[in-house]
Amino acid sequence: MPLKPVPYIWMNGRFVRWHQAKIHVLSHVVHYGSSWFEGIRAYKTRRGTAIFRLHDHLRRLERSLRMYYTEMPYTVEELERVCVEVVRRNRLEQCYIRPIVYRGYGDLGVNPMDCPVEVAVAAWEWGAYLGSEAATRGVDVCVSSWQRIASNTMPAMAKAGGNYLNSQLVRIESVRHGYDEGISLDIFGMVSEGSGENVFVVMDGVLYTPPLSASILPGVTRHTVITFAREEGIPVVESSIPRGMLYAADELFFTGTAAEITPIRSVDGVVVGNGGVGPITRRLQERFYQVVRDGEDPYGWLTFVPPAPRRTRAARVAPEATNLRRR
């Protein structure tokens, strides 16, 4: 879906206009994929606009950089304030937030260490990732011919731009074959994840999901669902999942910031369960919506965004810097 521009993007300590947020074509990231990012949602709850699990997402971003021998130029707490201000200043009631850290213009050798580390935070309105009816009707998926990257080739636990070339192949293949999404297997032939989602399997009342050793991203929504399931008394098992379980499952669903909790209604043309939203999937969706729609938050997962400032001519023409100093 095309991006809908908003007034401002934050780049390296100050706000710039959406169409002025540019980098040099010889930046290291353009040639070697040296970037790390997060996808975070802000929701319009009954208590006001709130960002879901902001701190947890930014901690994962910091860890992703660490796996690639890179230091974050700002603290997690500073970037939390930036994300809130990006939503507030752009007057977004609900949106998708994209913090991204990348190697900029400096040197074009494979070794990135002489290139500056740049940071930007953008936000825009973004609806349901897998379609407007995905949460209620489910999606049709295939098992991809592309395996998930092995953890001894690149750290699959890092949310790194270069890692997503693998994900692009999975998504392109699935769409070309008429499916909504694809599921990758790991190098051992066990279920890994979707192109941008974690996978859950329900069989006989037990909730199964692949472990971190299956080359998955440690999803924030994945952790959320595991928390809900355990509170509901649903047994949760993190273990290797053979491909056959996808066809034999009573329920299947994806989790992710973009996908939220999306039921899977078929795999390779094989209908999952009764083809609808299963009872465990529905209950977990309801628990999720209680937080992100109703604002019920006993976990401290919501960061509320204060009201936007009054519009002034000065603010429209020259937004102030945030005065953050790089480390």
Q: How far is CA 177 from CA 128, 141, 183, 275, 313, in A?
A: 21, 10, 13, 20, 51
If 0-12 CB within 10 Å is exposed, 13-18 middle and 19+ buried, where does residue 285 land? Answer: buried
By DSSP bridging, strand 206-209 and strand 48-52 are: unpaired
**Catalytic (active site) residue 44:** no
The packing angle between helices 279-292 and 220-231, to 10°, is: 110
How far is Cα 175 from Cα 78, in angstroms, rounded to an integer? 39
d(CA 24, CA 34): 14
Handedness of CA 189, 60, 139, 182 (dihedral sign): negative
Parallel/antiparallel/unpaired status of strands 198-203 and 206-209 = antiparallel
125: nearest Cα among 210, 3, 227? 3
Identify the sign of the CA torsion 257, 258, 262, 267: negative
Of the residues 4, 22, 44, 159, only one is catalytic, namely 159
Cα–Cα distance between 182 and 52 in angstroms, integer? 26
Phi, psi at residue 164, to the nearest 5°?
-80, 0
Residue count of the chain: 327
Residues recognised as catalytic: 159
